Structure 1
Amino acid sequence: MSSPTPAPGTAAAPHVVEDCLGFVQLLSDGTVRRSTDYSMLRPTGRVPSDSDLPVRWKDVVYDDTHGLRLRMYRPTNAGVGKKKKLPVLVYFHGGGFCLFSFEVTSFHAGALRLATELPALVLSVDYRLAPEHRLPAALDDAESVFSWLRAQATPSSAAAAGADPWLAESADFARVFVSGDSAGGNISHHVAVRHGSEGGLALAPLRLAGCVMLWPYFGGEEPTPSEAACPADQVMGPALFDQLWRLALPAGANKDHPFANPFAQGSIPLSDLGAAFPPVLVVDPDQDPLHERVVDYVARLKAAGKAVELVVFAGQGHGFFVTEPCGEASDELIRVIRRFVHGA
C-alpha cells in the first residue's frame, strides 16, 4: 500500500524502512522504534530456574557513562573463596548487534548452567545496540568491560573504585576467558585481536587465557555455498543476517567491512598477532548458514600458527544453545567448554 501524498507545504510522515522481526524498526527520518518485550521468545524444552541450580546472581554497572550493566553469576557449591578461585567467563550475547539482552530467558538460563557446571564466575554482558549505536559501539563497550575487570584485579584501582566482593573472593584473574554466541562470538574475536595486536588492548594484571566463540557471526559480500543454498524462508538465514548487518555496520559500509569480515581489507592480519592472542575454541553447528565462514576462519587461524580447536555439532543450527539451553546438544556443549576452560 502506498503512503498517502502529503498536503502541499507539509513534510511526509516518517515511514518504516527496516523492520527487524517486529523488535526494531528504523524510520525514514533516522529514528528507531524498539521493543524490549522478548517474552514470546521462550526456549524449547526444560529451562532451569534460579532455584534449580546452586548459583547466585546480581546485576552490576560496569560503565556509568552509558549506564551499561552486566549480570554476574557465582556458583555456591564450588568451594569458592580464598581457598578455591574460579575462572572468569566474560560472555557476550548474540542478536546481530541489534537485539536482546542478558535478561532474555535463554541467555539467563545458559549463564546459570555455565556458572554451575563449569564451574566459573560468569559475567553476562549487555552492550549498546544498533542501529541507535552502530559498530564499533559494541566493540568499544567490550573493551570497557575488560577495563572495568582489570581495575577490579588491580588492588589500588579496586580499592578506589569499590572492589566487588564476589570478584575479590572468587575470581582467578589469571584465567579470564572472552566468550559469546553469534554476534557475541564476533565480539570475542575482536577482543582477542585487539589484545593480541601490538599496542592494542592491555589487560595486565588480567591474563586472557582463552577465547570461546560459539557460531561466530561473520559476513562477507561474496555468498558462501551454504549461504546460497539456505532456503529463503529460513528465519535464521542470510536474509535476516543481511538485514542485521545493514542496521549494525557504519552507515555506507558493506559486509566486507572488517567489523563483519575478519579478512577484509583493513583487518589486522592474523599472522601479525603476537603471543598475547589466546588459544581459541570455536563451536560450529554444521546446519548453520555461516558454517563455511566458520570453517574458513579456523583454517586461517591454523595457517597463521594460532592455537585453535574446532568442534562441529552435527545436525545443529545457528544458536542451538539459545533455542534449547537444556537439550542434549547443549549438554555436550557445556562439556566441551568445561574441558577447554579447565584445560587452558
Structure 2
Amino acid sequence: MSSSSPAASAVSGSAPPQAPHVVEDCMGIVQLLSDGTVTRNSDYSHLPILRDIPSDLPVQWKDVVYDATHGLRLRMYRPTTVGKAKKLPVLVYFHGGGFCIASFEWPNFHAGALRLAGELPAIVLSADYRLAPEHRLPAAHEDAMAVFSWLRDQSSGGGDAWLAEFADFGRVFVCGDSAGGTIAHHVAVRLGSGTLALGDQVRVAGCVILWPYFGGEERTASEAEAEARPLASSEFDPGRNFDQMWRIALPKGATRDHPAANPFGPESVPLDDVPFPPVLVAKAGKDRMRDRVAEYVNRLRAMGKNVELAEFVGQGHGFFVFEPFGKASDELIGVVKRFVYCTIYGGHG
C-alpha cells in the first residue's frame, strides 16, 4: 500500500511550465515571444525587394561606423562627377520600416541613396539605427542624434577624407521616408528646442520628410477607408502592419498618442515657438496616412513654419522605396533637388 503527502501531490499535479510562444509576428520578419525575447528572420524575399540596380551610376559608396558603442553604421555616398573644388550639400537620410525592420543595406534604400547622391548632387549619409522591439523608442531618435553628433565631430577636421574634401557642413539636410521621416521631424524639433547642439561648423539648412509615419488613437478618414478596403491577394500594403509596428516600437503600455508617434498628441511638446528650418513634405495620394500628413503640414503652416507640400497623386506609401527608378520617383528626385538648391541659394517658398 502506498501513500503520498499533500506536498507531493501538489507537485505531481502541477502543470508543466509553458514554453515561450509568439505574441507578435510582424510580417514574418520579427517575432516577439511571451518571455520578451525576439527572433529575427533575415529572409526578406517575400517583400518587394529590388533585384537589379544599374551598375554604372556615377557614385561611390562605403560603410562607416558612427557609434561604436552600439555597433551602428551609415553608408556614405559621393558622386564621382563633381571635382574636389566644389563642396556639396550633405543629406542625412533615415530609412523607413516602422522602426522594426529594414536597413540601409536593403537594395531599395541603397538604390534611392545612389540616385539622391548622383542626381542632386550631394553627399548622402544613409544611417541605420537600433530597431524595436529589442530597442523601443526613443532609441531610434537617440541614434539619430548620435549621427549628427558624429557629423559635428567630423566637421572639426581629422575625420573622414570624403567629408573633408567634398562636404559643405553649412548646408546639411535631414531627410527620411516613413519612420525615417518621423525621425527627421524629431531631429528638427530637437534642433529647434536646443536639445541638439551642433556648434558653429554644422548647420541644418532644411528638412525633407517623405510620407511620414505618424500615428494617433483616433482614426482619420483615410485610415478608416483603408481598413475597410479588401486587399487583393497579390497586393502589398505596408500599412496593414502599422498598428502592430507601433505596438512593438513604442514604450510598453504606450498608445499611438505617445509623442514619438503623434506630434500633436496630448503629451507632445507644443511646436508653436520651436524654430524649424524650411521643410519639404511629400504626400502620397493613396497613402492611408495622407490625412495625417495633410494635418501635419497645415498645423505647421498655421504656426508660421516654412513648409512646402509636394503631392504625388496615385502613389502609395513608400513608392520611392519600392520603385526607386519609376516615373514618380524621377519626379520626386526633381522636387527634392529643387528644394535643396533653392533653400541654399534663395527662392524657396
> Common fold, TM-score beyond 0.5?
yes
Per the alignment, residue 25 of structure 1 pairs with 31
Contact 1:227–1:238 (CA<8 Å) still a contact in 2?
no
2:73 counterpart (66, 69, 72): 69
Q: Which amino acid aligns with 1:117?
A: E
1:201 counterpart (173, 196, 202): 196
1:314-342 deviation per Cα after TM superposition (whole angstroms, max 9, x unaligned)? 00000000110000000000000000111
**Larger Rg over CA atoms:** 2
Residue 269 of structure 1 and its aligned partner are, at CA, apart by 1.4
Identity in percent: 66
Map 1:164-243; keep pairs closer than 5 Å: 164-197=160-193, 199-204=194-199, 205-230=201-226, 231=229, 233=231, 235-236=236-237, 238-243=239-244
Map 1:3-82; keep pairs closer than 5 Å: 8-43=14-49, 47-49=52-54, 51-79=55-83, 81=84
Give structure 1 regions of 4+ aligned residues with deviation exceeding 4 angstroms.
none
* Bigger mean CA offset, 225-234 vs 62-71: 225-234
* Bigger mean CA offset, 243-252 vs 230-239: 230-239
Residue 311 of structure 1 and its aligned partner are, at CA, apart by 0.4
Contact 1:94–1:183 (CA<8 Å) still a contact in 2?
yes
Residue 254 of structure 1 and its aligned partner are, at CA, apart by 0.3
1:105-125 deviation per Cα after TM superposition (whole angstroms, max 9, x unaligned)? 100010111110010000000
Q: Distance in 1 between matches of 2:148 and 2:332?
A: 25
Residue 43 of structure 1 and its aligned partner are, at CA, apart by 4.2
1:248-291 deviation per Cα after TM superposition (whole angstroms, max 9, x unaligned)? 000000000000000012222121203xx211000000100000
Q: Which amino acid aligns with 2:156?
A: T
Give the 3 Å change call, closer, same or farther, for CA 170–74 of structure 1 in structure 2: same
Q: Which amino acid aligns with 1:119?
A: P
Matched, 1:256 2:257: yes
* 5+ long unaligned stretches in structure 2: 1-12, 344-349
Contact 1:177–1:209 (CA<8 Å) still a contact in 2?
yes
Contact 1:143–1:201 (CA<8 Å) still a contact in 2?
yes
> What TM-score do the two structures reach when normalised by structure 1?
0.92
1:142-188 deviation per Cα after TM superposition (whole angstroms, max 9, x unaligned)? 00000000000123xxx3xxx10000000000110000100000000
Q: Distance in 1 between matches of 2:329 and 2:126?
A: 18
Q: Which amino acid aligns with 2:111?
A: A
Matched, 1:319 2:315: no
* Bigger mean CA offset, 31-40 vs 139-148: 31-40
Per the alignment, residue 109 of structure 2 pairs with 107
> What TM-score do the two structures reach when normalised by structure 2?
0.90
Q: Which amino acid aligns with 2:42?
A: T
Contact 1:285–1:316 (CA<8 Å) still a contact in 2?
yes
Contact 1:63–1:144 (CA<8 Å) still a contact in 2?
yes
1:95 counterpart (73, 94, 97): 97
Per the alignment, residue 130 of structure 1 pairs with 132
Q: Distance in 1 between matches of 2:41 and 2:173?
A: 31
Q: Which amino acid aligns with 1:137?
A: A
Contact 1:38–1:104 (CA<8 Å) still a contact in 2?
no
Matched, 1:145 2:147: yes
Per the alignment, residue 270 of structure 2 pairs with 269
Per the alignment, residue 4 of structure 1 pairs with none
Q: Distance in 2 between matches of 1:99 and 1:216?
A: 16
* 5+ long unaligned stretches in structure 1: 1-6
Aligned residue pair count: 326
Q: Distance in 1 between matches of 2:184 and 2:168?
A: 19
Q: Secondary structure at the match of 1:241?
A: helix
